[in-house]
């Protein structure tokens, strides 16, 4: 951590800072320039005292040198993490996985039909929401546990691992019982009780970046889960909020190489939410695979115009089937594979 003092700092003021550093058990490095004095405070966890120094009147600016997260960092674990899900599915290796299914679990028929279609097309993980975070209190909120039983049965029948979203610690317990991967949604990226609950159970977690979450904050939220003992966390970019309004969100593909550099955790992309528009999903899915995604999560619905949620961004079955073949070609071009 590097502390820059205001111009014209007096010896007494400089001493106040260096004393404080010593009191905290660190060693200060003082560099005096013609106008400006900077003081280095280097050592493990120095960054956690950032606020305390920033609050001093004489301090102009503080630069962090070390990362505020640890277990999630590439420094902590050099090799990519490979998460063993279930039924032989491993995320983070050569194979790029496709998670697909309807946005919300609506009924047994739609779920089983969709599961069959996506499995045949090449998807390996079945998605569907039982608890739906909806902006409006008047919109469909999901089938709850009844829905979880449907997706569990569909996964069982088609021999596919399943993923669904939890919005509270109680739902984490339910999800942990019925599903193979627990999703934490963008709106809950800083719901710390939920993150801790997900960290205290053993099922893999897919953590979605919030609409205005920096990559650093995403990794800090992952750290909440990891610090509870669950190391099986995947990070999912699903679109950030920008000024552009021709798409629902802006899928931030820059995040892929940045995350790849900073963390060992697998990276998942969600082009369905990232664009919000069916006809743009395929293009961004291809770009995501080319960028090195370890998995994609895609919404597919046999009759989008009758879907209870997110119909406009759901792919039609035939679109999905054609897309997976295209994605496989792109995957192979970058040394990965889907089919």
Q: How far is CA 226 from the centre of its chain?
A: 13
250 near a copy of itself, judged by CB under 8 A:
yes
Name which position in 15, 19, 22, 31 contacts a copy of itself (CB under 8 A).
31
Name which position in 14, 18, 24, 43 contacts a copy of itself (CB under 8 A).
43
Site for a copy of itself in 183-212 (CB under 8 A): 187-193, 210-212
Crossing angle for the helix pair 255-262 and 278-291, to the nearest 10 degrees:
40
Name which position in 18, 86, 176, 227 contacts a copy of itself (CB under 8 A).
227
Crossing angle for the helix pair 317-333 and 108-121, to the nearest 10 degrees:
30
318 near a copy of itself, judged by CB under 8 A:
no
292 near a copy of itself, judged by CB under 8 A:
yes
Here's the x/- map for a copy of itself, 144-183, by CB under 8 A: it reads as: -----------------------xxx--------------
Asked whether 47 and 3 are in contact (CB, 8 A), the reply is no
Nearer to a copy of itself, 12 or 138 (CB): 138
Q: Which residues contact 256 (CB under 8 A, 6 or more apart)?
A: 237, 267, 269, 288, 291, 292, 293
Site for a copy of itself in 52-111 (CB under 8 A): 52-56, 61, 63, 65-66, 68-69, 75
Q: What is the DSSP letter of 129?
A: B
325 near a copy of itself, judged by CB under 8 A:
no
291 near a copy of itself, judged by CB under 8 A:
yes
42 near a copy of itself, judged by CB under 8 A:
yes
283 near a copy of itself, judged by CB under 8 A:
yes
Nearer to a copy of itself, 287 or 321 (CB): 287
Least distance (Å) from a copy of itself to the CB of residue 69? Answer: 7
Helix (H, G, I), strand (E, B) or coil at 149: helix
Residue 142: CB atoms within 10 A of its CB come to 24
Asked whether 96 and 327 are in contact (CB, 8 A), the reply is yes
Cβ neighbourhood burial of 55 (10 Å; 0-12, 13-18, 19+): exposed
Q: Which of 114, 149, 112, 117 lies closest to 130, judged by CA?
A: 149
Least distance (Å) from a copy of itself to the CB of residue 104? Answer: 11
Structure tokens that stand for 32 in this block: 């005096």
123 near a copy of itself, judged by CB under 8 A:
no
C-alpha dihedral sign at 235, 241, 247, 251: negative
C-alpha dihedral sign at 288, 209, 319, 127: positive
Least distance (Å) from a copy of itself to the CB of residue 266? Answer: 16
- The single residue listed with the structure tokens 């997900």 is 198
Asked whether 223 and 76 are in contact (CB, 8 A), the reply is no
| Rounded Cα gap, residues 276 and 21, in angstroms | 49
Name which position in 304, 317, 324, 338 contacts a copy of itself (CB under 8 A).
304
Nearer to a copy of itself, 161 or 274 (CB): 274
Least distance (Å) from a copy of itself to the CB of residue 221? Answer: 8
274 near a copy of itself, judged by CB under 8 A:
yes
Name which position in 9, 163, 240, 338 contacts a copy of itself (CB under 8 A).
240
Q: Which stretch binds a copy of itself (CB under 8 A): 94-102, 157-165, 200-208, 270-278?
A: 270-278
């Amino acid at each position: 951590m590097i502390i820059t003092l205001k111009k014209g700092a007096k010896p007494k003021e400089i001493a106040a800072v260096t004393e404080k550093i010593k009191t905290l058990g660190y060693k200060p490095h003082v560099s005096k320039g013609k106008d400006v004095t900077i003081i280095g405070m280097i050592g493990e966890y120095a960054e956690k005292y950032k606020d305390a120094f920033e609050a001093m009147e004489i301090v102009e600016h503080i630069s962090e040198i070390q990362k505020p997260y640890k277990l999630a960092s590439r420094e902590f674990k050099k090799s990519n993490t490979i998460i063993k899900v279930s039924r032989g599915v491993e995320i983070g290796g050569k194979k790029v996985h496709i998670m697909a299914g309807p946005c919300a679990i609506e009924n047994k028929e739609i779920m089983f039909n969709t599961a069959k279609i996506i499995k045949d097309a090449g998807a390996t993980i079945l998605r569907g929401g039982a608890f739906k975070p909806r902006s409006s209190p008047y919109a469909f909120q999901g089938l709850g546990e009844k829905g979880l039983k449907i997706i569990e049965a569909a996964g069982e029948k088609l021999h596919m691992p399943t993923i669904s979203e939890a919005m509270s610690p109680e739902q984490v317990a339910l999800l942990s019982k019925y599903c193979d991967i627990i999703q934490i949604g963008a709106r809950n990226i800083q719901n710390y009780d939920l993150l801790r609950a997900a960290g205290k159970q053993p099922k893999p977690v897919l953590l979605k970046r919030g609409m205005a979450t920096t990559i650093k904050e995403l990794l800090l939220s992952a750290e909440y889960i990891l610090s509870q003992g669950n190391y099986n966390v995947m990070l999912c970019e699903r679109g950030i909020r920008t000024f552009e309004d021709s798409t629902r969100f802006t899928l931030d593909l820059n995040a892929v190489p940045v995350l790849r550099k900073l963390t060992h955790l697998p990276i998942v992309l969600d082009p369905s939410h990232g664009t919000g528009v069916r006809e743009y999903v395929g293009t961004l899915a291809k770009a995501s695979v080319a960028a090195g995604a370890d998995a994609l999560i895609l919404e597919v619905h046999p009759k989008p115009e009758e879907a209870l949620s997110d119909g406009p961004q759901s792919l039609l079955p035939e679109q999905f089937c054609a897309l997976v073949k295209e994605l496989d070609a792109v995957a192979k071009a970058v040394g990965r594979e889907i089919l």
